[in-house]
Amino acid sequence: MSPNWTHLVRFLAEEDGQIHLGQVDAKKWPDVGLALHEGSKITAKLVEGSVFDGVVTDKTMTITQLLAPLRIDEVPIIRCLGLNYRDHAKEANMPIPDVPVLFIKPRTALNGPAPAKINIPKFAQDGSSDYEAELSFVISKTGRDIPKEKALEYVLGYTCSNDVSARTQQFKNSQWCFSKGLDGSCPIGPVLVAPSALKDPHKLRIRAILNGKTVQDSNTSEMIFDIAETISFLSQGTTLERGTIIMTGTGPGIGAMRNPKIALQAQDDMRVEIEQIGTLINTVYFDDREFPRCRVCEQTAQRQKKCYRRHQLPKTDQQDNRSSFLDDGGAGHYSDGAGSDGEDISSLSCRKRQDRSEWSQDRRNSRLNISDLSFILHPAHEASSPDKEPPSGLRRDGGPVRENQSLIQQACYTIGLSHTTLEHMVRIYFKNMVAISLFHEPSFPQKLRSIDSPVQISALLAALVGFAARFYPSETDLVAAEGDHVADPEHFQAMALKLIDEALACCGDEAPPMCVVQALIVATHCQLTRGVHGRAWRSLGMCVRLAYELNLHLVDARGAVQATTREDSRKWRDEEEKRRAWWAIWEMDVFASTVRRTPTAVDWAQMEILLPADDADWFHDRPARSSFMERDPVRRWKVLQDSGNGSPWAWFLVINSLMKDAQVISSPRGVPSQSDQKSRQQYNRRKGNSSHLIGPVEEARQKLEILANAVQCFVLALPAHLEYRNQYLSFDGAVAAPGRIESLQHLHSGIHNIFMMTQLARLMIYRYHLFGAHAHSPQSGGLTGLSNSPDDAVGQSLPGFNDLGNSSVRQYFEAADNILMIVSRSCEDHIRYINPFLPSTIWLAAAVQLVRKYVKPPASDPGLTQSRFDVLYLTYKRCANLEMLEMQLQAHYHQHPEQGEHVHPPPETIGVPPGQNARTYPGRNLPRSTSNGRTGGLLDSTTQWAQTSRNQYPETQYQSLNLSHSELGTAAAANNAALDFMRLPARAERNYVLESDSISTTLSPTMISPLDDSSASLAAHIGDIQPHHIDWHNMDLPVDIQALLSGMSTY
């Protein structure tokens, strides 16, 4: 199919940040390159298809950046003519050739218009770098032995080009391929003009303009061999492949022939102007890097003739991604530069060199090279080193590119979706995955086409579909192809995990590529959002192990302090992808370890990796400053602020780390018990630690005060665009601000997540003041604080609760109120766009509201607290339905329709027939069964459910904790029952016991379904105890509640 475009451009669109093909209106913008350079707002009609068969559509987009009309993978070779202009031959005093003089450029020389630059490597910066303005054309179809009369049928279009040459190297050798084939030495553009739009390609004025001065001025009529002759001659016995670029030679006025000579210099403005086509504009850049040497060579002062380490040279505008995520021809350069020309951003790390004790400057410059020797002298031969390059799993740009459409189709078959539906699912993933940004979205097509393993590409796509499937029913604008069935998310997630296991098995002892690790991250993320259970827990462990295997924790161990210039943006982009994979794993590890109250699997002391940069910088390949995650919480927010990093994710990670620090201190095991204080003090004396001068409780309070101050400073240091000022969060899809690519949806998600995590950090800090310190005091008898005396159990004092004006109490409840506030001031469907690890924070805020209900002053309106609880509870319920969480809170909470009180009945009255004794356990206040396996009275309707649970789970005997109603007192038992549901989310692995004298039945929490109207009678006997008859304000809560809130709350 022939294309119908006449003036084709390849461009970056303002509307979506993607790269497209487009048709410009030549009547309105006859010189699109010059017009865009001068600031004109130019639109283009989108072209569907490729450059070879594209069809112009009616959809228009705004051009923000022009790229080379062809991608590097579309260009097999660049063939060039030398001495093809009569006036140039006369200038050079050379005879007119009888046949075309041919030389070639490799396709790695391909470059595009500004902001792409003409790169002059260091060896060519000798005053001989030269320009050659030329007309070039592209072959439209493959052919051989093409007759002259049919030759023009093989022309796809014409464009401007510049044959940048290193003259010193050219004159040293009769073969010109090296001197004219340097990377980026063939910029083309700005537009590809179809033959039908040119009156005569042999009558075009062509000029070269250097810094505003015309240095070449000729006409294509001066060609010795016209275009038809050139095609016919070059195709003799030689196949001209589709996409071949042929440069037709240059006119007089090149720098080497002028008197005095002219050479390209850094920052020169170089332009090629051709009549009826436009102006190709580039800036000259001098690359100041020396001959590449590896790190070991530098540290040992050794120069090698050949270094076998892989060094990546600056990239030019060679590749891009297509608007289609699964397009087989997309590849990925997406760069508008990185700051000013030659900008030194060695301050990517806010940590100074002298702060790096392990990799100090002295050790780097040491000829003895102790640091490398230390890696050699290791129990294992293959020591993990910061210089070790992990496999990327991607083919390099300069290497052969194999079409992988068959792999995409194979992945579609494996996953069970059509190509169209699969592409829709990928788009849904990028639209809804706002918690973590793992993939460089503009170059994602390149990532797919660069994967050469069918198992790996299927695993990655299955993982993305597993996440997107949760949102598919609501995406009404994306309809599955006819015959497609989008299964449940669990189906695709299970498939992804199976494919990941297969991909890892294929790797053997070799480290897996990043695409496999990213697939596992997405799959593990989906598992963890449903609960930190066995499979999710083990998948997370695998993520951590793979991250260490790929040395992701050492991405910036050495490289971050090296000077980085604009041409390194591609390398920085790849390293940023590794950083994001690491921090996604780190965040999952913090979440899971907080829920399970275990140490983190990641060692924070061994992280030499910068926090993620802003998405806008990453997507535009702009290397940006960032900071490390400092161990000292006081410095943690400071270094991030000093770096100027405005990434919402980076700031979220910092407040998340402060929350984890607080949780470690305030957890039940965060402070040693008083019985261990003496031995602990003796140990600290031997170690010279002054901690023995204060007690463990006071030490914990001091640490938490430091964290509280750090959290407050964090709030004050937040960038203005991430602050929550009680505004309404609409989570709209519109662009957040002019010049930015992220939507309000992403921005509001960042604001919401940071604010929620800040409140959770405060809850973790101040709960210790309310519960933890008292539980660790000598009078409380440890965490449980359980008393053998009923009077003591009821009468023990809780200073935090009794003094409701206490600052810690106020701030504890204020944090819960703040969570309610942001929930109330967000749009109805905001739960789709928040971090999926945060619903349990909403659950905790609801639990705190319930605590307040029973410690409020007498004058407080109980309905106010009740309404707050309802809002948070229903929000949590919607989150749980979306994320398919187990409804722990819902399973333990029910509002009686008549009484309107969310309180369990007294333990001794729940479903126990008269004359039978009831035994209750903290967290297990469910009725016991009768000896015949049937429950009496109120539980008759749930007998079948209980029996089913018994058949599925083994019986477990529990020793009675001797906490009957007669021992604790009526009020204490009622409080314990009312707060009983708060235990479950933190201990999802605990079972629920219905025990009688003759039988015990274990119920898994996963089997507990929400109580409906049929089971409303569970709370029928609460009428015997009315909350308003109890002096909640003056009554000391039982100590088991204190232990519950200090140790059982969840993240």
- Please tell me the distance from the alpha carbon of residue 364 to that of residue 370, in angstroms, as a whole number: 9
Determine the pLDDT at residue 194: 96
Element (H, E) at 64: strand 55-67
- Please tell me the distance from the alpha carbon of residue 853 to that of residue 860, in angstroms, as a whole number: 9
If asked whether residues 102 and 234 sit together in one domain, one would say yes
Q: Which residue has the higher pLDDT, 94 or 962?
A: 94
Cα 585–Cα 523–Cα 741 angle in degrees, nearest 5? 70
Short-list 549, 546, 528, 548, CA closest to 537: 528
Which pairing describes strands 78-82 and 19-23: parallel, antiparallel, or unpaired? unpaired
- Please tell me the distance from the alpha carbon of residue 433 to that of residue 764, in angstroms, as a whole number: 27
Last residue of a domain, one of 280, 299, 318: 299
Short-list 590, 534, 479, 562, CA closest to 841: 590
Residue 456 Cα distances to 411, 491, 497, 518, 899, angstroms: 9, 18, 11, 10, 58
What is the average per-residue pLDDT within 579-589? 94
Amino acid type, 985? P
Which pairing describes strands 43-48 and 55-67: parallel, antiparallel, or unpaired? antiparallel
Q: Which residue has the higher pLDDT, 389 or 200?
A: 200
For residue range 335-391, list pLDDT tens digits in order. Answer: 333 333 333 333 334 444 344 444 344 444 444 455 555 555 656 545 455 555 555
Say which range, 235-239, 884-888, 896-900, has the weakest mean pLDDT.
896-900
The highest-confidence range among 46-60, 551-565, 779-793, 915-929, by mean pLDDT, is: 46-60
If asked whether residues 137 and 212 sit together in one domain, one would say yes
Determine the pLDDT at residue 851: 77
Last residue of a domain, one of 332, 357, 376: 376
- Please tell me the distance from the alpha carbon of residue 341 to that of residue 490, in angstroms, as a whole number: 49
Q: Which residue has the higher pLDDT, 375 or 119?
A: 119
Whether 115 is covered by a domain: the verdict is yes
pLDDT at 711 over 90: yes
Short-list 75, 70, 59, 68, CA closest to 16: 59
Whether 587 is covered by a domain: the verdict is no
Instruction: Give the 3-state secondary structure of residue 224.
Output: coil
If asked whether residues 50 and 102 sit together in one domain, one would say no
Residue 881 has, within 13 A of its CA and on its CB side, a CA count of 10
Tell me which DSSP letter residue 771 carries: I
Longest CA–CA separation in the chain, Å:
121
- Alpha helices in 275-334, H assignment, sequence order: 295-299
Report phi then psi at 335, rounded to 5.
Answer: -135, 130
Cα 604 to chain centroid distance, Å, stands at 20
Last residue of a domain, one of 299, 317, 335: 299
- Alpha helices in 885-942, H assignment, sequence order: 888-891
- Please tell me the distance from the alpha carbon of residue 513 to that of residue 825, in angstroms, as a whole number: 43
Instruction: Give the 3-state secondary structure of residue 65.
Output: strand
Whether 125 is covered by a domain: the verdict is yes
Sign of CA dihedral 928, 933, 936, 939: positive
If asked whether residues 40 and 81 sit together in one domain, one would say no
- Please tell me the distance from the alpha carbon of residue 1047 to that of residue 907, in angstroms, as a whole number: 23
pLDDT tier, 772 (very low <50, low <70, confident <90, very high otherwise): low
What is the average per-residue pLDDT within 103-121? 93
For residue range 645-683, list pLDDT tens digits in order. Answer: 999 999 999 999 999 998 888 775 544 544 455 555 565
Determine the pLDDT at residue 206: 97
- Please tell me the distance from the alpha carbon of residue 67 to that of residue 115, in angstroms, as a whole number: 9
Q: How many other C-beta atoms lie within 10 A of the C-beta of residue 477?
A: 5
Q: Which residues does residue 61 pair with via DSSP β-bridges, in sequence order?
A: 44
What is the average per-residue pLDDT within 990-994? 30
Determine the pLDDT at residue 601: 93
Determine the pLDDT at residue 489: 85
Whether 1041 is covered by a domain: the verdict is no
Determine the pLDDT at residue 457: 93
What is the average per-residue pLDDT within 394-401? 39
Q: Which residues does residue 757 pair with via DSSP β-bridges, in sequence order?
A: none
Q: Which residue has the higher pLDDT, 287 or 234?
A: 234
Q: How many other C-beta atoms lie within 10 A of the C-beta of residue 152?
A: 15
pLDDT > 90 fraction of the chain, expressed in percent and rounded? 36
Say which range, 151-160, 563-572, 720-729, has the weakest mean pLDDT.
563-572
- Please tell me the distance from the alpha carbon of residue 704 to that of residue 230, in angstroms, as a whole number: 79
pLDDT tier, 308 (very low <50, low <70, confident <90, very high otherwise): very low
Say which range, 807-811, 816-820, 951-955, has the weakest mean pLDDT.
951-955
pLDDT tier, 287 (very low <50, low <70, confident <90, very high otherwise): confident
Q: Measured in Å, how far apart are the chain's first and last C-alpha atoms?
A: 58
Which pairing describes strands 55-67 and 7-13: parallel, antiparallel, or unpaired? antiparallel
- Alpha helices in 469-566, H assignment, sequence order: 489-507, 514-529, 534-549
If asked whether residues 255 and 180 sit together in one domain, one would say yes
857-868 burial, b at 16+ Cβ within 10 Å, e below that, comes to eeeeeeeebbeb
Q: Average pLDDT of the chain?
A: 72
Residue 415 has, within 13 A of its CA and on its CB side, a CA count of 38
Determine the pLDDT at residue 741: 52
> What total number of domains does the chain contain?
4
Tell me which DSSP letter residue 621 carries: T
Residue 754 has, within 13 A of its CA and on its CB side, a CA count of 29
If asked whether residues 208 and 106 sit together in one domain, one would say yes
If asked whether residues 54 and 84 sit together in one domain, one would say no
Determine the pLDDT at residue 43: 95
What is the average per-residue pLDDT within 387-406? 47
Whether 1018 is covered by a domain: the verdict is yes
Report residue 47 as tokens. Answer: 């072209």
Amino acid type, 1021? H
Report residue 156 as tokens. Answer: 């796809």
Q: How many helices (H) and strands (E) does the chain have?
A: 33, 20
pLDDT at 738 over 80: no
Residue 426 has, within 13 A of its CA and on its CB side, a CA count of 28
**Phi-psi group of 209: left, alpha or beta (phi > 0 → left; psi -120 to 50 → alpha; rest → beta):** beta
If asked whether residues 182 and 246 sit together in one domain, one would say yes
Contacts of 1032 by beta carbon, 8 Å cutoff, 6+ apart: 854, 855, 856, 858
Say which range, 511-515, 561-565, 851-855, has the weakest mean pLDDT.
561-565
CATH code: domain of residue 180:
3.90.850.10
Whether 698 is covered by a domain: the verdict is no
pLDDT tier, 1005 (very low <50, low <70, confident <90, very high otherwise): very low
Residue 421 Cα distances to 328, 411, 424, 428, 483, angstroms: 16, 12, 5, 10, 10
User: 115 preceded by cis ω (within 30°)?
Assistant: yes
Residue 914 Cα distances to 54, 296, 479, 734, angstroms: 83, 83, 60, 64
Say which range, 236-250, 328-342, 470-484, has the weakest mean pLDDT.
328-342
- Please tell me the distance from the alpha carbon of residue 893 to that of residue 333, in angstroms, as a whole number: 54
For residue range 908-920, list pLDDT tens digits in order. Answer: 332 333 333 433 3
Determine the pLDDT at residue 399: 37
Short-list 825, 831, 838, 867, CA closest to 850: 867
If asked whether residues 248 and 123 sit together in one domain, one would say yes
Determine the pLDDT at residue 482: 44
If asked whether residues 255 and 211 sit together in one domain, one would say yes
pLDDT at 262 over 60: yes
Whether 788 is covered by a domain: the verdict is no
What is the average per-residue pLDDT within 607-631? 90
For residue range 840-896, list pLDDT tens digits in order. Answer: 788 888 888 877 766 666 556 767 777 878 788 787 777 766 655 444 444 444 433
Mutual angle of helices 489-507 and 405-415, in 10-degree steps: 130
**1010 CB burial (10 A radius; 0-12, 13-18, 19+):** middle
Determine the pLDDT at residue 407: 81
pLDDT at 967 over 90: no
Short-list 46, 49, 44, 186, CA closest to 116: 186
pLDDT tier, 566 (very low <50, low <70, confident <90, very high otherwise): low
- Please tell me the distance from the alpha carbon of residue 489 to that of residue 932, in angstroms, as a whole number: 41
- Please tell me the distance from the alpha carbon of residue 989 to that of residue 925, in angstroms, as a whole number: 17
- DSSP letters, 945-1011, are HHHHHHHHS-----------HHHH-HHHHHHHHHTGGGGGGGGTT--EEEE-SS-EEEE-GGGPPPP
If asked whether residues 140 and 38 sit together in one domain, one would say no
pLDDT tier, 513 (very low <50, low <70, confident <90, very high otherwise): very high
Q: Is the pTM of this model over 0.85?
A: no
The highest-confidence range among 64-73, 416-425, 469-478, 843-852, by mean pLDDT, is: 64-73
Contact 256/240 with Cβ under 8 angstroms?
no
Say which range, 175-179, 840-844, 1018-1022, has the weakest mean pLDDT.
1018-1022
Say which range, 131-145, 207-221, 439-453, has the weakest mean pLDDT.
439-453
If asked whether residues 922 and 1021 sit together in one domain, one would say yes
Summarize the chain as % helix, strand, coil (round to 5): 45, 10, 45
- Please tell me the distance from the alpha carbon of residue 411 to that of residue 461, in angstroms, as a whole number: 8
Say which range, 38-42, 328-332, 811-815, has the weakest mean pLDDT.
328-332
Whether 933 is covered by a domain: the verdict is yes
Determine the pLDDT at residue 160: 97
Report phi then psi at 968, rounded to 5.
Answer: -90, -20
Residue 356, domain extent: 349-376
Amino acid type, 438? L
